[in-house]
Amino acid sequence: MPALKISEIPRNMRNIEVTGKIVRKGDTREVKTRYGPAKVSWAILRDKTGSIRLNLWRNQIDAVMVGDVIRLVNAFVKVYGGEIELNIGSDGRIDVLEWRHNGNKEDFRESSTQMVSGKRKGFCLA
């Protein structure tokens, strides 16, 4: 699937690849799911064509921060309250292409984020 611009994302689509910048992030809260308690938050992802809400679950919450440029791979859309929202399931991933650490921008040609003891750790793939 080729990468889409945010303005091109239709309702109920799956297997989406999209790149954008995290411009806002909500507070984390705990919810009850059929699998037990889970932490959930959200972020606003923006590119040149628009913005979209991205739902973040569990370890995804600490994987991104405001200012990060990310690529979502194998994301899917759900409609909530009449608005489309992006989600990353267990078969999807978040690649952090540019990230902020301690207030300083560190630019990698290509990097991903992995969780290490609940903290994000960037590493170069290229």
pLDDT digits (tens, 9 = 90+) for 102-121: 444 444 434 444 433 334 44
Q: What is the DSSP letter of 109?
A: S
Reduce the DSSP state of residue 35 to 3 states and report it. Answer: coil
Q: Where in the chain does DSSP place strands (E)?
A: 16-25, 29-33, 36-47, 50-57, 69-80, 83-101, 104-107, 111-116, 119-124
Nearest CA among 74, 76, 63 for reference residue 111: 63
CATH of domain 6-93: 2.40.50.140
pTM comes to: 0.78
pLDDT score, position 43 = 98
Provide the H-helix boundaries in 3-123: 60-63
Domain boundaries, the chain: 6-93
